[in-house]
Structure 1
Amino acid sequence: MIDTTTADGTADGTTTGSATDAPGLVLRLDAPAGTWTDAFPVGNGRLGAMVRGGTDHERLHVNDDACWSGAPLDGPPQPVGPLPAGGAPEVVRRARELLAAGDPLAAEAELARLQSGWVQAYQPLVDVLLDQPEAAGGTGYRRTLDLGTGVVTTGWRSGAGAAWRQDVLVSHPDGALLLERTGPAADAQVRLTTPHPWATAPATPPAPGSDPAPGDGTAPDPRAAVVVATVDMPAHVLPDWVQAPDPVRYGGPAVHAAVALAVLVDGPGASARVVDDVVEVRGARRVRVLLTTASDHDTATGTLHGDRPRVTADALASLGRALADVEGIAARHVADHAALMGRVHLELTDVPVPDLPLDARLVRHARGEADPHLAVLAFQHGRYLTVAGSRPGTLPLNLQGIWNDRVRPPWSSNYTININTEMNYWPTLVGDLAECHEPLLGWLDRLAVAGAGTARTLYDVGGWVAHHNSDPWCFTGPTGRGQDSASWSSWPLGGAWLARHVVDHHDWTGDVDALRRHWPVVRGAARAVLDLLVELPDGTLGTSPATSPENLYLLPDGRPASVSVSTTADLAIVRDLLEHVRRLAPVVGDRDEDLRADVDGALDRLPTERVGADGRLAEWHTDVADAEPGHRHQSHLYRVFPGTSLDPDTAPGLAAAATRTLDARGPDSTGWSLAWRLALRARLRDPAGVATLVDAFLHPVDADRGEGLGDPPDGGRRGGVYRSLLCAHPPFQIDGNLGFTAGVAEALVQAHHRGADGVREVHLLPALPAVWPTGRVQGLRLRGGLRLADLRWRDGRVVRAVLTADRPGVVDVREGDARRHVTLRPGVPVVVVGE
């Protein structure tokens, strides 16, 4: 049995124990997963698995973050054309002229020539199947995911009344998946399946330096059996919504991956041996399944080495290292995982947690029964998914994190960079998981290099650009084959948005070395937007052609259009980026006076947001009718959040207009959009709006009809969460889980604002919902190298607050109308409110 007990120290020395001792960090369901989204995820950043918790039949869906379709690109994506003599830049010039002439639909048709195919798709690797007929039964069934320890535990009684237990984890220190099952002596079968053709089917590996073992493959130790298999990923996979022959193609350059699996058994007379491609277990009281993977995909460089024997050897070597001390794997995993998760503690209620499974609690909550602890679970769940899905040396989190069971997953499970990839990393810094931010920053270094070619090819500009989709091969072009909507495809500001993460990393951590290392990402994105800006008839600078990601407006004749001039989102992203370049160039020692002059000149001529005739923050250059009033994107609110420039203090009129914009968007949307709106409401200091969006996000989408919760409006699909608490777009997207965590943090504390004297403001409880009158949070990391060591409140008022700092400085602590300047010294806790 895996011991999951951990000392999860908090700021005041309190601890939490195992899953049964700490219900505050446990997701519980009382039935095996009926669908993939019912399963619980485990992972170590590279290797992930979804645990269904079956009794007589368990199925683990296993992913490796390196396993994608496709291969490194030969150069910038090439437009489908046809192109005029002036090439792609001439197409852009024509589109600009058509917009000036008042023909946006013709401009869209022109821009379709620049589309250049689609990104590749994240892939499943294998499933681990464990069949054990004698374990069948469901009496007393309970399946839990302990967020504090990263272990999924399933307990039940078989039909014969025997007690069974199963624990599953994926260890970061050991780089291995471990399943451990205990019960009475019983037989079992363990095998691997894959949705891809086997390159080499599962078999016992030969001993080093020997010929393959003859006969039935019985291992030298009858209590252990090992198999190894290899798989080639598809060479090309079309998005799931594209109708075309042969959407999945094998052969040609592709990722080659290996899986090594060991089955260990205990008990008098227990044995394990490989028969054909199945591990046959006899008479085992304990079965342990250990799995490691390897591939020829170097995710740090985006290259394939192609050495197939080396891939197999790497997987087996990893397995060997894990087997060398298999008894210590669980303890090392729990210590590593808990060290990250234990940095932040949150309580939002002082009443007992309901002793009910998660799905029942979600239904009760949707019916109006208060359960503030669900928000605690969802907050920590976002941090858990970050720890399990993003570690140094891995690829960044994609649309589904590192968990996917489909060869053609929704939206290719790609990097959607017009909001979703960015949202994946919103909670990382505030949640004190800065090391988990590194995969995104490392990938951005490569994306910027690839995007420089796209900037030159399509726009004849310097710097680098990326459009709305990418993948590990750093695709940066507009998607489609001439048929994708310009509303998402014709948007070259993905790099400009992503560059903000380099800025945020510095603003939170103060790591100047990291800022210098990744400065080319920021500088290159700024150079591109400066070159893309054009002078408009009114003398301002703007963008043309321009879109507001994925949204449409109506022409006077009622037809929908997406391409315009100087959309608010474009101008907000450009202004935000250039302001950060001006602020941080001296910090990194960038003394390019020409760049500084260009930045200053552009900022002087860029319009700011405006209020439309209806009182909302205008989304388009002129007042036009919305094609979809409740649209899921709200990119024109960029400088409210994730930006830091518009709030009720700095721009009260624009902040009020932003609030009216959110009101007009309505109460329902996709799961990730609800999370974004939560963060926006918090930044706008709207406690009631925060409470409404928390409730909307925690709505159980898979229970609407079955539990009498009502259908979504207009017959659509309401966003929210599945019974496992995974975010439902629907379908599943992880960004909503992560965005929710960031939104809750914004409701509790904000430190983005500096006063006229340059002193950073720490605003305590700026948007606390009335339904959270009593609570406590510890460990949140704030901009400026600050840490919220402790914040306690009662009846909605702060009773104690403690700050620490990484560097000396003065902060302006704000609670309601009260303010207090506080001097901080590195590492010295200061009580800023209370005793």
Structure 2
Amino acid sequence: MRLLFFVILLQAIIIPGAAQQTGLRLWYNKPAGDTWENALPIGNGRLGAMVYGNVGKETIQLNEHTVWSGSPNRNDNPGALASLPQIRQLIFDGKQKEAEKLADQFIISKKSHGQMFEPVGNLHLTFEGHADYSDYYRELDIERAVSTTRYQVGEVTYTRETFASHADPVVVMRLTASQSKRISFVATLSTLQSKAKITTSPKHELSIYGTTSDHEGVEGKVKFLGLVRFKLEGGTVSSSDSSIVVKGADAVTVYVSMASNFNNYHDITANEKERAVNAMERAFPKSYEEVKKAHVKAYQKYFDRVKLDLGVTAAAKLPTDERLKRFNTEPDPELVTLYFQYGRYLLISASQPGGQPANLQGIWNSRMRPPWDSKYTININAEMNYWPAEKTNLSELHEPFLKMVSELAETGQETARVMYGSRGWMAHHNTDIWRATGAVDGAFWGAWTAGGGWTSQHLWEHYLYHGDKKFLETAYPVLKGAALFYVDFLVEDPRRHWLVVNPGMSPENAPKAHEGSSLDAGTTMDNQIVFDVFSTAIRAAEILDRDKSFVDTLRRMRDRLPPMHIGQHGQLQEWLDDIDDPNDKHRHISHLYGLFPSNQISPYRTPQLSSAARNTLLQRGDISTGWSMGWKVNWWARMLDGNHAYKLIQNQLTPVGSNEGGGGTYNNLFDAHPPFQIDGNFGCTSGIAEMLVQSATGEIHLLPALPDVWRNGKVNGLLARGGFELVELQWQDGKLVKAIIKSNLGGNLRIRVPNDVKLAKGSIVKQPPGENQNPFFRVEQTPSPLISASATVQLPQLSETKLYDIDTRAGGVYVLTPEIK
């Protein structure tokens, strides 16, 4: 009995500093089988692959980032403009359901509702005599971005290593055996593409050549070519019409190249054959070790910037799927570290400069008709994919999304003009590789008009982290155009005389008071987004010293936006009318946009609104879809409640199907809506970072939301606004023991910490008065809320913190340690 107690106690011990010793690996003691969500993802931003790790017949499922259905097209509904006055009047008259029916007819597209991200195909390697195997092991090493499968047949150990090279534009697999002449297999390709042809060449090369699907009246014109070439060490190779046969090799390296004719959303004139062949010719002459070494170096340039250590227990020795099952009952802080870094791994793998942004499934999709077409849903999901980009030191990987926003600003000008008679640009709730900006999927979802407003804020965030004025100059027309749309689109509420978005909505939710319609005027989320759009355009114009009269217009109009409301249940109202249902458990809680990712609500700056936001979260509950729980981690972190944020991490890191009525996580740690959506992975990674460092509310707050289970730990490399890097942040028993901060831009560094600290060199001011004078930390004043007479508002109970100012110079490094009294 004593021995059993000792074993249990040993498993529960958290060992600080051990997390980096175990290696960051997803590993399993069984193959993926036929389940795609068991396979392991690899990618280099352009090429994606899912590695199944099956023994007798290995499958590598293949994607290329520009293989989408359709071709350049527009999907505006020109009938919107003439119907707009009637739709608006119906909404002001309280006839939202009638307005929705009219919007379905005149606002929703009569053309394409968005094109689909499609797979290229599958590479199969079939091995004879491998049915009886033992000592099976497969892993995804996210420190090197290499997947490994290993097993034993008789006396022979077989090993496969696979990666999507970040240095060469190919996917590479290396097959070896512990004895010579043991590598034999048949290689084939398969595809779901109806307009594709699979062939072999006299050089024993497999190829798949095709054109993507027609969809919703748009002809598929994306041409693609995939090539598979084999480099043998010993043995023989032969080919049939559809297969490559390798016999008796000592080792084989497989190179996969894929390319399309896509240049950009309006140009598909590239030569896909030339691209694919050139990529293959660039990589194939190199040795496997040469290609692998270059890949790991290029990948680690990004990945190694951030390290996290929350301690490790004996649970880290278990297969990943077993750890997932036990996470809610056994201490396993290293699984949080793994999940955090896995989110960074997925972003590095799915989004690279010059490529397409990560879509609903990143870059991984096996279906010709994937859920929601695997597009870009911009009423939350696509933005969520990039929440970790700046703060977890992957700023360059934000570029594909920022470029997409700039392209939407081009296509969205026509939508704003034709559909709403407005200047500037706008987008609705969904887009695709062709940068469609029309309204799709029905008015209940698609009549939302804030897609441009929200996505444009990512440009401003990028500037706040890096202070690049040249970047701001290129981004300013996009920011100005988003604001200009609202200047023309806002109308006066005839009853309350505020300027409101009409038609507007709080995405995908519908109160009973509106007969189940989502449409309304002046919803809280719309008001918050317009407030941010106007504020960032004002700030950017001031920094660049331009458009003074336009700035004056924006200031006047911003002052006429509705303030936030606290309703009868103590909740932050979702609509202008106090009609929220405290039993509503809807997955979208869009009116908390003002808490995160925006900074309009804060426990320190707006305690009443913070209290109302907390009540809303409590009323909605914790369990929801995977992405919604990921958003909630960020909200609870901004509420400075680390224990509740951690509870949401536990809910998310629960095997899919275990949360009744909600999402969770698949065995390969993909987020489950369900089905798979990658936004939950990225949202939770962002939330974990927010629990450790926040910089959106006027200061850098260190350790703002530590849960009790993370009393000791260390993180390196997180970024904060104003060009500050947390080179090292270490804590014990919930108190800061060391912080090394690098200032890349100089200026005032205001920090909030849980205990008294001192500065190794330089001057430090305790409890500084007034607002932070560093312009990157300026926070626009949130208007005071209107509070229902029936509401009970309990102000947040905040832990004691210390506030300091440090005058920094560009390039300076500042070391903080506890002040011993």
TM-score (norm 2): 0.89
1:543 aligns with 2:510: no
Superposed, which structure 2 residues align to 1:786-805 within 5 Å?
786-805=724-743
Superposed, which structure 2 residues align to 1:546-625 within 5 Å?
546-555=504-513, 559-589=515-545, 591-625=546-580
1:637 aligns with 2:592: yes
Shift of 1:475: 0.8
Matching residue's letter, 1:827: G
Q: Which residue of 2 aligns with 1:36?
A: 36
Q: Distance in 2 between matches of 1:808 and 1:765?
A: 23
Shift of 1:141: 1.1
Deviations 1:189-235 (A, max 9, x none): 1111111135443221xxxxxxxxxxxx3x4xxxxx32333111102
Matching residue's letter, 1:189: V
Superposed, which structure 2 residues align to 1:176-575 within 5 Å?
176-183=170-177, 184=179, 185-204=182-201, 217=202, 219=203, 225-236=204-215, 252-267=219-234, 270-299=235-264, 301-305=265-269, 310-327=271-288, 328-349=290-311, 351-352=313-314, 354-366=316-328, 368-480=329-441, 484=442, 486-537=443-494, 538-555=496-513, 559-575=515-531
Correspondence for 1:146 among 141, 150, 157: 141
Q: Is the 8 A contact 2:583 2:619 kept in 1?
A: no
Where 1:620 maps in the other structure, the secondary structure is coil
Structure 1 pair 628–401 and aligned structure 2 pair: CA distance change class (3 A)? farther
Q: Which residue of 1 aligns with 2:89?
A: 97
Matching residue's letter, 2:317: D
Q: Is the 8 A contact 1:552 1:626 kept in 2?
A: no
Q: Which residue of 2 aligns with 1:222?
A: none
Q: Distance in 1 between matches of 2:166 and 2:23?
A: 24
Q: Distance in 2 between matches of 1:169 and 1:412?
A: 26
Q: Distance in 2 between matches of 1:288 and 1:827?
A: 45
Correspondence for 1:109 among 95, 101, 109: 101
Matching residue's letter, 2:528: A
Q: Is the 8 A contact 2:746 2:812 kept in 1?
A: no
Where 2:521 maps in the other structure, the secondary structure is coil
Q: Which residue of 1 aligns with 2:162?
A: 168
Q: Is the 8 A contact 2:140 2:148 kept in 1?
A: yes
1:667 aligns with 2:622: yes
Q: Is the 8 A contact 1:72 1:302 kept in 2?
A: yes
Shift of 1:433: 0.7
Deviates more, 1:310-319 or 1:139-148: 310-319
Structure 1 pair 772–427 and aligned structure 2 pair: CA distance change class (3 A)? same
Q: Is the 8 A contact 2:69 2:117 kept in 1?
A: yes
Deviations 1:362-418 (A, max 9, x none): 11113x111111111110011000100100110101000000000000000000000
Shift of 1:833: 2.9
1:776 aligns with 2:768: no
Shift of 1:520: 1.9
Q: Which residue of 2 aligns with 1:84?
A: none
Structure 1 pair 252–576 and aligned structure 2 pair: CA distance change class (3 A)? closer
Q: Which residue of 1 aligns with 2:780?
A: none
Structure 1 pair 674–783 and aligned structure 2 pair: CA distance change class (3 A)? same
Where 2:122 maps in the other structure, the secondary structure is strand
Shift of 1:597: 1.9
Q: Distance in 1 between matches of 2:262 and 2:133?
A: 42
Where 1:555 maps in the other structure, the secondary structure is helix
Deviates more, 1:491-500 or 1:106-115: 106-115
Q: Is the 8 A contact 2:183 2:252 kept in 1?
A: no
Query: Identity of paired residues, percent?
Result: 37
Structure 1 pair 345–351 and aligned structure 2 pair: CA distance change class (3 A)? same
Deviations 1:634-673 (A, max 9, x none): 1101111000121101100000100110001112000100
Q: Distance in 2 between matches of 1:606 and 1:491?
A: 18
Matching residue's letter, 2:156: A
Q: Which residue of 1 aligns with 2:674?
A: 730
Structure 1 pair 252–641 and aligned structure 2 pair: CA distance change class (3 A)? closer
Q: Is the 8 A contact 1:56 1:137 kept in 2?
A: no
Q: Distance in 1 between matches of 2:466 and 2:346?
A: 21
Shift of 1:137: 3.9
Q: Is the 8 A contact 1:179 1:290 kept in 2?
A: yes
Where 2:709 maps in the other structure, the secondary structure is coil
Q: Distance in 1 between matches of 2:583 and 2:425?
A: 32
Structure 1 pair 797–16 and aligned structure 2 pair: CA distance change class (3 A)? closer
1:121 aligns with 2:116: yes
Deviations 1:166-186 (A, max 9, x none): 100001211000011111414
Q: Distance in 1 between matches of 2:510 and 2:382?
A: 22
Shift of 1:119: 0.4
Structure 1 pair 365–252 and aligned structure 2 pair: CA distance change class (3 A)? closer
Where 1:738 maps in the other structure, the secondary structure is helix
1:721 aligns with 2:673: no
Q: Which residue of 2 aligns with 1:824?
A: 808
Q: What value does the CA root-mean-square deviation take over the aligned residues?
A: 1.9
Q: Distance in 1 between matches of 2:296 and 2:539?
A: 41
Q: Distance in 2 between matches of 1:138 and 1:428?
A: 42
Correspondence for 2:603 among 624, 648, 651: 648
Structure 1 pair 180–431 and aligned structure 2 pair: CA distance change class (3 A)? same
Shift of 1:825: 2.3
Q: Distance in 1 between matches of 2:193 and 2:17?
A: 45
Q: Distance in 2 between matches of 1:252 and 1:793?
A: 58
Q: Distance in 2 between matches of 1:775 and 1:818?
A: 20
Deviations 1:566-620 (A, max 9, x none): 000100100011111111212234x223321220111111122110110010001
Where 1:560 maps in the other structure, the secondary structure is coil
Shift of 1:77: 2.2
Q: Distance in 2 between matches of 1:769 and 1:137?
A: 47
Q: Which residue of 2 aligns with 1:740?
A: 684
Q: Distance in 2 between matches of 1:545 and 1:252?
A: 32
Where 1:134 maps in the other structure, the secondary structure is coil
Q: Is the 8 A contact 1:32 1:54 kept in 2?
A: yes
Q: Is the 8 A contact 1:786 1:805 kept in 2?
A: yes
Q: Distance in 1 between matches of 2:183 and 2:28?
A: 26
Structure 1 pair 569–460 and aligned structure 2 pair: CA distance change class (3 A)? same
Please list every run of 5 or more consecutive structure 1 residues that lacks an aligned counterpart in the other structure: 1-13, 80-86, 205-216, 220-224, 239-248, 705-711, 755-760
Shift of 1:350: 5.1
Deviates more, 1:517-526 or 1:132-141: 132-141
Please list every run of 5 or more consecutive structure 2 residues that lacks an aligned counterpart in the other structure: 1-15, 755-800
Q: Is the 8 A contact 1:56 1:135 kept in 2?
A: yes
Q: Is the 8 A contact 2:18 2:309 kept in 1?
A: no
Matching residue's letter, 1:555: A
Deviates more, 1:121-130 or 1:311-320: 311-320
What is the total number of aligned residue pairs between the two structures?
A: 749
Structure 1 pair 353–833 and aligned structure 2 pair: CA distance change class (3 A)? farther
Deviates more, 1:604-613 or 1:87-96: 87-96
Structure 1 pair 627–667 and aligned structure 2 pair: CA distance change class (3 A)? closer
Structure 1 pair 586–76 and aligned structure 2 pair: CA distance change class (3 A)? farther
Matching residue's letter, 1:164: Y
Q: Is the 8 A contact 1:53 1:143 kept in 2?
A: yes
Q: Distance in 1 between matches of 2:743 and 2:363?
A: 34
Matching residue's letter, 1:744: I
Shift of 1:824: 2.1
Shift of 1:625: 4.3
Q: Which residue of 2 aligns with 1:689?
A: 644
